[in-house]
Every structure is written in C-alpha cells, then in structure tokens.
C-alpha cells in the first residue's frame, strides 16, 4: 500500500506542479481593445491560481497558417501539462469543430480545428483529440453569443483544464486521432532536386526561410562556394529562378549580393548581404509558396 502510494507521488512530482496551471494564449486580436483582457478575465474567474502567459496576439488577421507556425515554434519549450489556447478563427459560427488536442509530449491545445494544429500534430504527435462539449464547457450566460468563442468556449475550457477543474476526458467526446491539416510542400529530395516550402520570412532583414533542414539539403553534397539553381513559385507562378552561391556566412559575398545559407534553425535560407531579398524579388510566405534547389551545372 505504502509502496503504491510512493510511486503515485513520484509520478505526480515528475511534472512540475506549476506546469499544471500554465495557460498560454494566442490570437489575431491585437491588444488595442479589450478582447484579450476579456479572455484572461474569464480564465481568472475559473481560478486565480493560473499562470497566464501570452504567446502572441499579433497573428495577421485570419492567418491560420501563421498561427500554426507560432505554436510549432514555441510549444516544445513549454513543460508537459501546459495548455495553449489559440484563437484564429475565420470560420466562427460554421461547422468547424472546437477541439482540445493532447499531444504525445503531454501538451494541450484548445482551438478550432481549422488547420491551426497542422504542425504541432506532426512534430509532437497526436495522443488523443476531443470535441468540446459546449453544454458543459461554456461560460455561464453566454449561450446567446455566437461570435466570441475565444472568450466563451476556448478561454473557459482551457482555464478549466489547466486549473484541474475538469480532466481531459471531461472536455467532451473523443474524436478520431486526426486534425485538419493545411497542405504544403514538405522537405524532400528526389532526382538531385531538393524541394520545400517557405513557411515564414525573417521580416526584420528580408531573409527567406524555408522548411528544408540541413540533413535534407546535404543530399546535394555541396561545399561552400558552389552555385545552386533556386526556383521559387507561388502556386503555378514562378517568382524567382536564378543561380545563387551556397555560403556559410553573409560576408562571403559582396554587399547587396545574394547567397543561400543555413540559418540559426539549421534550415536553408536566402538573403542579400545587407539587403532585403524578399522585398527585392517580391517573395512572400505561406502554404502556396514552394522552393526547389539543385546544383547548377
């Protein structure tokens, strides 16, 4: 009996107690009005012991792709038990499901199932998914409101889960272990050509970041100074097609000249030395932006 109790206590202590009360918010609301404060007020109303943090509220309006990226960028650095509430919801009032995803890493994501979970589902793995039962998990006296689920459903459910008021099983009915995913070009190599996606730009400097990791890129067996042929397209429209040197640092090319390099995340990127590559060549980012790289003959 005592041995079983000791084991149970040790398992409980394996996750920091504070991590069980962490609630992280993300939205496209901005902070110029009271929307974010309203969600936090709902959370504090559930439990004043919650540790409430912001991921960001500056997601471009309705940009599900960037919401998915920012969750992927940050979630793994938070301890198991952390609950993320992400509200970028152009489909509010439609048939899209309101869900809580539990990943194999032990993180929870409270969000509309509209593509926001694309990347964390891939990288952290899906343990289980449940649809929020709004008959139980909805802010009291909010039933006549249909346009602010972030406050009435997601913040309320996320706070109850983070505070331990409800268990994951009490969120609602279990769903198939799958999420709505945004289609995009994954990093692959085939017939001497590496292909990938441009998920985001380094907007401060105009660098173009890709999802092509070092290992995939190394299949080309290049050395610094080699020329590569780079083609960038948005859908069927080719935006950029030119030879660029592969280098290890910006200073390896003259000022204003382009280079291909591996960024701080060990992913392939493009830049102009002390210039704006994306601006000069009108390159943007998103699910429809693709890149292919091959050794220039």
CATH of the domain at 291: 2.40.30.90
Domain boundary among 141, 170, 199: 170
What pLDDT, on a 0 to 100 scale, did the predictor assign at position 8? 46
Q: By three-state DSSP, how is residue 100 classified?
A: strand
What pLDDT, on a 0 to 100 scale, did the predictor assign at position 296? 83
What's the mean pLDDT in 104-127?
A: 97
- Host domain of residue 153: 14-170
What's the mean pLDDT in 251-258?
A: 96
Domain boundary among 135, 170, 205: 170
Phi and psi at 41, nearest 5°, equal -60, -40
Q: Residue for token digits 């070092």? A: 214
Domain identity same for 163 and 291: no
Q: What DSSP line would sit under 44-106, residue for residue?
A: HHH-TT-EEEEEES-PPTT-HHHHHHHHHHHGGGSPTT-EEEEE--TTTTSSPPEEEEEETTS
The percentage of residues in the chain with a pLDDT greater than 70, rounded to a whole number, is 91
The pLDDT confidence band at residue 20, using thresholds 50, 70 and 90, is low
What's the mean pLDDT in 98-121?
A: 97
Domain identity same for 95 and 242: no
What pLDDT, on a 0 to 100 scale, did the predictor assign at position 259? 98
What pLDDT, on a 0 to 100 scale, did the predictor assign at position 150? 79
Domain identity same for 148 and 71: yes
What pLDDT, on a 0 to 100 scale, did the predictor assign at position 46? 96
Which ranges in 136-206 belong to alpha helices (H)?
149, 156-163
In a domain, 177, yes or no: no
Residues contacting 147, CB < 8 A, separation 6+: 92, 93
In a domain, 176, yes or no: no
In a domain, 55, yes or no: yes
In whole angstroms, give the CA distance from residue 143 to residue 165: 21
Residues contacting 134, CB < 8 A, separation 6+: 98, 153
Distance linking the first and last C-alpha atoms of the chain: 72
Domain identity same for 200 and 159: no
Domain identity same for 118 and 144: yes
What pLDDT, on a 0 to 100 scale, did the predictor assign at position 141? 76
In a domain, 133, yes or no: yes
What's the mean pLDDT in 118-126?
A: 97
What pLDDT, on a 0 to 100 scale, did the predictor assign at position 95? 84
In a domain, 230, yes or no: yes
Quick: pLDDT tens for 57-98: 999 999 999 999 999 999 999 999 999 999 999 988 788 999
What pLDDT, on a 0 to 100 scale, did the predictor assign at position 7? 46
Domain identity same for 18 and 165: yes
Quick: pLDDT tens for 156-167: 999 999 999 999
Quick: pLDDT tens for 186-242: 999 999 999 999 999 998 899 999 999 999 999 999 999 999 999 999 999 999 999
- Name the pairing type of β-strands 289-295 and 51-56: unpaired
In a domain, 7, yes or no: no
Residues contacting 230, CB < 8 A, separation 6+: 240, 241, 242, 243, 244, 260, 270, 291, 292, 293
Number of structural domains in the chain: 2
Instruction: Indicate which CATH number applies to the domain containing 143.
Output: 3.40.50.10790
* pLDDT(6) > 70: no
CB atoms within 10 A of CB 54: 13
* pLDDT(4) > 60: no
In whole angstroms, give the CA distance from residue 297 to residue 295: 6
What pLDDT, on a 0 to 100 scale, did the predictor assign at position 9? 47
């Amino acid at each position: 009996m005592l041995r079983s109790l000791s084991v149970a206590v040790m398992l409980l202590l394996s996750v920091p107690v504070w991590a069980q009360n962490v609630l992280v918010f993300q939205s496209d609301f901005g902070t110029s009005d009271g929307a974010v404060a309203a969600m936090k007020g709902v959370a504090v109303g559930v439990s004043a012991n919650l540790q409430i943090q912001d991921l960001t509220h500056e997601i471009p309006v309705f940009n599900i792709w960037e919401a998915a990226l920012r969750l992927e960028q940050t979630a793994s650095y938070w301890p198991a038990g952390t609950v993320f509430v992400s509200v970028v919801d152009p489909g509010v009032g439609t048939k899209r499901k309101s869900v809580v995803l539990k990943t194999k890493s032990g993180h929870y994501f409270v969000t509309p199932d509209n593509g926001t979970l694309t990347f964390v589902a891939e990288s952290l793995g899906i343990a289980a998914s449940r649809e929020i039962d709004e008959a139980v998990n909805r802010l009291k006296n909010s039933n006549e409101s249909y346009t602010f689920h972030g406050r009435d459903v997601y913040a309320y459910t996320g706070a109850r889960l983070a505070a331990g008021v409800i268990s994951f099983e009490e969120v609602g009915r279990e769903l198939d272990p799958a999420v709505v995913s945004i289609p995009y070009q994954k990093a692959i190599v085939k017939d001497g050509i590496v292909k990938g996606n441009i998920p985001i730009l380094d907007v401060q400097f105009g660098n173009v970041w890709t999802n092509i990791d070092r290992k995939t890129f190394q299949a080309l067996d290049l050395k610094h100074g080699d020329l590569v042929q780079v083609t960038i397209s948005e859908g069927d429209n080719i935006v950029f097609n030119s030879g660029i040197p592969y280098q290890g640092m910006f200073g390896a090319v003259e000022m204003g000249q382009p280079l291909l390099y591996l960024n701080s995340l060990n992913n392939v990127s493009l830049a102009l030395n002390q210039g704006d590559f994306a601006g000069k060549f009108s390159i943007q980012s998103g699910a429809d932006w693709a890149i292919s790289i091959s050794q220039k003959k």
